[in-house]
Amino acid sequence: GAVVSQHPSWVICKSGTSVKIECRSLDFQATTMFWYRQFPKQSLMLMATSNEGSKATYEQGVEKDKFLINHASLTLSTLTVTSAHPEDSSFYICSAISGQAGEKLFFGSGTQLSVL
């Protein structure tokens, strides 16, 4: 299967600071990547769809100024949580579609964000 790398795997930050999470497709090009948020014992909540070379598409209720997404290349998308607050603490996961693998969806390893 295709490999999606996500960094960092965990981060602790102070309230008010910004945190950047990287999502890379290692062995394939991904014109589209997705960012999810997952609360304990719950399903994957789609936050936004990241499109290479254009603006991200945000789901209803997700603040685009709070969760900045940049997809500057075919292998890298970043999610920046700006002015983080404790309620932003969560598990964030990215995913990407690999055309080489038959248009299948593969996930990054996730980032556990804890805001103090």
Partner 1 sequence: GENVEQHPSTLSVQEGDSAVIKCTYSDSASNYFPWYKQELGKRPQLIIDIRSNVGEKKDQRIAVTLNKTAKHFSLHITETQPEDSAVYFCAATDTGRNFVFGPGTRLSVLP
- Which residues of the shown chain bind partner 1 in the complex (CB under 8 A)? 1, 6, 32, 34, 41-44, 49, 91, 93, 95, 97, 103-110, 112
d(CA 25, CA 6): 9
Choose between 61 and 65: whose C-beta lies nearer to partner 1.
61
State how beta strands 67-73 and 76-81 pair. antiparallel
Choose between 26 and 105: whose C-beta lies nearer to partner 1.
105
Choose between 59 and 63: whose C-beta lies nearer to partner 1.
59
Nearest of 71, 70, 72, 66 to residue 90 by alpha carbon: 66
Cβ 71 to partner 1, closest distance in Å? 14
Please give the distance of CA 16 from its chain centroid, rounded to a whole number: 20
